[in-house]
C-alpha cells in the first residue's frame, strides 16, 4: 500500500538536508515560511509517530533559540507579525523537552503581541513599517500562537484579544456581495492600494484568504468551549466557507489566484491558497466546526490538487503552480494585473507546507470516516 502524501512529502524535505542534518532553506533565518514548514514536519511526526520528524524540527529551531530564550535574528521592536509564526513550534518543544529556554522565547514573542502597535479599534498592525494596516496574513502568524499561549499559561484575557483580532479584520475586509475578504485594510486610507472610502485593497487573493481560514480553525482549537466569542468565530468561519464554495472551480475543485475572476485572461488555479482551504475545511469538518458540505468540498479539492499539480519521481514529491509571493505596498498595488504578474513556481515551501498540512487533515478525516463505517 502506498504511503500517505503527508509522509512522502515530509520525507522529500528531510532528504534534502545536508550531512549535518540541516536544510539550506530552513537554516537561513527565523521567518514565517520556515516556521510553517517545521510545524508541518513535526505534526507529521506526531501523528504517524516518526521521531525523526520532531528531531528535524528541533535541530533547526535550536539554531535560533539561545540558552537565555533570546531568538537569533528576531527583534521585538520590529513589531512584525510574520516573526511570530515560527514560535508556534515552541509549545511542542516545551512539552517534549522541558527546557526553560523555549518557554522564555514564547514569553518574548507574547510580549511583542501584548505591546504591538494597533489601529484605533485595537487591531494589530501587520508590521511597524505598515502603519494602521491589517493584512489577512497577519492573523495566521499571530492568532493561533496567542491562543495556544493563552491556554498553556492560563491567560484567559488573551483569548479575548485573539477573538477581537479575528472578528475585527473580518468586519473591515469582508465584501458583502461575495462574502470574500480583501487582502488588506488601511485604516488611514493613505496607501496607493487602499480604496478611499473603505480602506480595503482591490482584490481577493487566494493565499490571503487561505491564511485567514487557517487562522480561524487553528485558533479555535485552543478556545474554551464557554468563551463568549467562540460561537461567533465558528459562525464567521462557516459563513466564509460558504463564500469559498461559490468560487470553487467546478471541475478541479480548486481556487483561482484572484478568487472571483474565474478563467479571466492570466488567472490560474493556485495551489498554496487551495492547500490552505483544503486544510481549513478538512480540519473544520473533523472538529465539527463546519457543517456539510465541508468534508465533500475538501476531498474534491484535494483530489483535484493531486491529479493536476502533484508529481512524484526519484527525488520525491513535487508541487506546481504556486504563487511565489504577493504583498501590498507602493509597487504592489493590489490590482488584478499585479496578482497575475507574480511568478508561478514549483516546490517552494510556502506551497509545500500547506500541502503537507492539508494532507494530514484529509488523512485524519478519511481515517475518522473509515472508523465510522466500521462501527455501523
Tell me the H-state helices in 15-99: 32-48, 51-61, 90-97
140 touches 212 (CB < 8 A): yes
- The rounded distance, in Å, linking the Cα atoms of 364 and 368 is 6
What are the angstrom distances between the C-alpha of 33 and each of 27, 86, 88, 208? 11, 8, 12, 14
Which among 86, 84, 144, 155 has a CA at the least distance from the CA of 116? Answer: 84
For residue 196, the 8-state DSSP code is T
Instruction: For residue range 20-55, list pLDDT tens digits in order.
Output: 999 999 999 999 999 999 999 999 999 999 999 999
Residues 6 or more apart whose CB falls under 8 angstroms from that of 67 comprise 101
Quote the pLDDT of residue 125: 98
128: domain CATH number is: 1.50.10.10
For the four alpha carbons of 276, 281, 282 and 286, in that order, the dihedral sign comes to: positive
Instruction: For residue range 105-141, list pLDDT tens digits in order.
Output: 999 999 999 999 999 999 999 999 999 999 999 999 9
153 touches 216 (CB < 8 A): no
Structural domain boundaries, residue 126: 5-375
pTM here is 0.97
Is 186 known to be catalytic?
Answer: no
112 touches 30 (CB < 8 A): no
Which parts of 314-370 are beta strand (E)? 316-319, 322-323, 344-345
Residues 6 or more apart whose CB falls under 8 angstroms from that of 218 comprise 140, 143, 144, 147, 283
The yes-or-no verdict on residue 278 having pLDDT over 60 is: yes
For residue 312, the 8-state DSSP code is E
pLDDT grade, residue 283 (50/70/90)?
Answer: very high
How many independent structural domains does the chain possess?
Answer: 1
Share of the chain above pLDDT 70, in %: 98
If one compares 323 and 330, the residue with the highest pLDDT of the two is: 323
pLDDT grade, residue 371 (50/70/90)?
Answer: low
279 touches 272 (CB < 8 A): no
Quote the pLDDT of residue 372: 52
Backbone φ, ψ for residue 105 (5° rounding): -65, -40
What are the angstrom distances between the C-alpha of 112 and each of 26, 53, 145, 159, 296? 23, 29, 12, 16, 40
98 touches 159 (CB < 8 A): no
The CA-CA-CA angle for residues 336, 238, 231, to 5°, reads 130
Instruction: For residue range 147-161, list pLDDT tens digits in order.
Output: 999 999 999 999 999
Instruction: Give CA 39 to chain center in angstroms.
Output: 11
- Quote the cell numbers at residue 36: 510553517
Instruction: For residue range 256-270, list pLDDT tens digits in order.
Output: 999 999 999 999 999
Instruction: For residue range 295-317, list pLDDT tens digits in order.
Output: 999 999 999 999 999 999 999 99
- The rounded distance, in Å, linking the Cα atoms of 161 and 212 is 16
- The rounded distance, in Å, linking the Cα atoms of 341 and 146 is 34
34 touches 80 (CB < 8 A): no
- The rounded distance, in Å, linking the Cα atoms of 126 and 116 is 10
Q: Which residues pair with 310 in a beta bridge?
A: 319
The yes-or-no verdict on residue 144 having pLDDT over 60 is: yes
- Calculate the average pLDDT of the chain: 97
Provide the 3-class DSSP secondary structure of residue 288: coil
Catalytic residue among 137, 218, 226, 373: 137
Amino acid at each position: 500500500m502506498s504511503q500517505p502524501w503527508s509522509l512522502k512529502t515530509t520525507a522529500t524535505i528531510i532528504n534534502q538536508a545536508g550531512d549535518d542534518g540541516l536544510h539550506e532553506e530552513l537554516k537561513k533565518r527565523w521567518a514565517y515560511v520556515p516556521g510553517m514548514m517545521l510545524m508541518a514536519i513535526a505534526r507529521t511526526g506526531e501523528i504517524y509517530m516518526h521521531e525523526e520528524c520532531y528531531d528535524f524540527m528541533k535541530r533547526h529551531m535550536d539554531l535560533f533559540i539561545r540558552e537565555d530564550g533570546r531568538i537569533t535574528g528576531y527583534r521585538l521592536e520590529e513589531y512584525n507579525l510574520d516573526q511570530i509564526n515560527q514560535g508556534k513550534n515552541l509549545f511542542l518543544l516545551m512539552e517534549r523537552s522541558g527546557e526553560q529556554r523555549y518557554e522564555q522565547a514564547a514569553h518574548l514573542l507574547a510580549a511583542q503581541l501584548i505591546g504591538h502597535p494597533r489601529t484605533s479599534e485595537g487591531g494589530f498592525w501587520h508590521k511597524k513599517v505598515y502603519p494602521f494596516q491589517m493584512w489577512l496574513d497577519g492573523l495566521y502568524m499571530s492568532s493561533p500562537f496567542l491562543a495556544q499561549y493563552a491556554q498553556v499559561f492560563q491567560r484567559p484575557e488573551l483569548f479575548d484579544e485573539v477573538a477581537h483580532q479575528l472578528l475585527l479584520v473580518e468586519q473591515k475586509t469582508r465584501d458583502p456581495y461575495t462574502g470574500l475578504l480583501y487582502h488588506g485594510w488601511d485604516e488611514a486610507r493613505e496607501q496607493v492600494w487602499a480604496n478611499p472610502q473603505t480602506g480595503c485593497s482591490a482584490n481577493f487573493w487566494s493565499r490571503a484568504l487561505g491564511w485567514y481560514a487557517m487562522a480561524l480553525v487553528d485558533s479555535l482549537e485552543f478556545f474554551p468551549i464557554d468563551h463568549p466569542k467562540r460561537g461567533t468565530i465558528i459562525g464567521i468561519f462557516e459563513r466564509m466557507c460558504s463564500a469559498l464554495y461559490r468560487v470553487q472551480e467546478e471541475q478541479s475543485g480548486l481556487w483561482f489566484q484572484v478568487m472571483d475572476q474565474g478563467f479571466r485572461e492570466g488567472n490560474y488555479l493556485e495551489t498554496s491558497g487551495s492547500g490552505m482551504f483544503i486544510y481549513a475545511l478538512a480540519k473544520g469538518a473533523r472538529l465539527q466546526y463546519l457543517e456539510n458540505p465541508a468534508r465533500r468540498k475538501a476531498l474534491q479539492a484535494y483530489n483535484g490538487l493531486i491529479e493536476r499539480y502533484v508529481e512524484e519521481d526519484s527525488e520525491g514529491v513535487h508541487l506546481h503552480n504556486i504563487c511565489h509571493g504577493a504583498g501590498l505596498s507602493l509597487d504592489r498595488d493590489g490590482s488584478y494585473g499585479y496578482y497575475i504578474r507574480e511568478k508561478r513556481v514549483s516546490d517552494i515551501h510556502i506551497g509545500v507546507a500547506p500541502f503537507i498540512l492539508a494532507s494530514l487533515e484529509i488523512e485524519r478525516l478519511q481515517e475518522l470516516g473509515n472508523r465510522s463505517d466500521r462501527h455501523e
